[in-house]
Amino acid sequence: MFKVNIPFQTSIEQIANLPTYVQEMQRCGHGKEFIANVLRIAVFDQGMYDLIEMWIFAHSNSDLSEKIVKEMLNTINDYKNKGTTWII
């Protein structure tokens, strides 16, 4: 039997929200490399987009924010470990 993997994909509306989220990440002092990687992944990976939204709504809670950022870094590392060449 042939199986098709259809990943959850970020919608056009969600992609349109990303510039606002990036500005907030910059305002909070996240580095350009981190933001660029998060943005690149979030364009097509719903999971990373969801992490960004969770961070946006929770970044005033430093403990929760830190956990979300660690998960974002884990996702970036997962892409790097898969040999993804467009991750910085």
| Residue (of 82, 12, 74) closest to 38 by Cα position | 74
State both tokens at 19: 């510039």
Residue 2 forms part of a structural domain: no
Alpha helices in 1-88 (DSSP H): 12-27, 32-42, 46-58, 62-81
Domain of residue 74 covers 12-81
Please indicate whether residue 10 or residue 56 has the higher confidence score (pLDDT). 56
- Mean pLDDT value across residues 65-78: 96
Count of domains observed in the chain: 1
pLDDT tens digits along 16-65 = 999 999 999 999 999 999 999 999 999 989 999 999 999 999 988 889 99
Tell me whether residue 42 is in a domain.
yes
Q: Is residue 7 part of a domain?
A: no
Say if 34 falls within a structural domain. Answer: yes
Answer whether residue 88 is part of any domain. no
